[in-house]
Amino acid sequence: MRCLKCGYEESKVIDSRPTEDSNAIRRRRECMKCEFRFTTYEKIENIPIMVIKRNGMREAFDRDKVINGILRACEKRPISIDTIEKIADDLETHINNSLLREIETEEIGRIISEKLKQIDDIAYVRFASVYKQFKDINEFKEELNKLLK
């Protein structure tokens, strides 16, 4: 690490501890030449996950979009924001654990639908109606019949 004062490229770590939010490590360093002390932060590099949309376009994964979609499906339902955030957390964990750098919107929709199906039937049907793009009332009815069985 280059010294901020003299530019020397070698320093030693005096102290190391996690930040308050535990998303980085704070390191206190001392220049090996001029003994100037400075602080650096070490963070995990976050490689963006790309979402492949139905039309083939790609965009960066946006957790806020996921939460907003779930919120719309759960509107006026007895589902807490903590539960909604847990669904988003589970989705992100699934994507990160898969080690894929790209995921299709259909896969995202399937994962969220499965979670909502376990929590609330109405929220599930609302979400599925958008995710599965029902063309008419018969497709909607078929999904309801599956749910009733």
Closest to 121 in 3D by CA, of 143, 103, 91: 143
Per cent of the chain over pLDDT 90 is: 67
Measured distance CA(109)–CA(134) in Å, rounded = 14
- The pLDDT value recorded for residue 120 is 94
**What pLDDT, in 10s, does the model give residues 61-97?**
999 999 999 999 999 999 999 999 999 999 988 988 8
Burial (Cβ within 10 Å: 0-12, 13-18, ≥19) of residue 17: exposed
pLDDT for the residue 22 = 78
Question: Phi then psi for 79, rounded to 5 degrees?
Answer: -120, 125
pLDDT of residue 99: 80
pLDDT, tens digit only, all 149 positions of the chain: 899 999 999 999 999 999 887 778 999 999 999 999 999 999 877 778 999 999 999 999 999 999 999 999 999 999 999 999 999 999 988 988 888 889 999 999 999 999 999 999 999 999 988 877 777 778 778 878 887 87
CB atoms within 10 A of CB 74: 23
User: With b meaning 16 or more CB within 10 Å and e meaning fewer, what string describes 31-52?
Assistant: beeeeeeeeeeeeeeeeebebb
HSE-CB for 28 with a 13 A CA cutoff: 5
How far is Cα 11 from Cα 34, in angstroms, rounded to an integer? Answer: 10
Sheet holding 11-18, edge to edge: 11-18, 24-31, 37-43
pTM exceeds 0.75 for this model: no
Please tell me the predicted confidence (pLDDT) of residue 17. Answer: 93
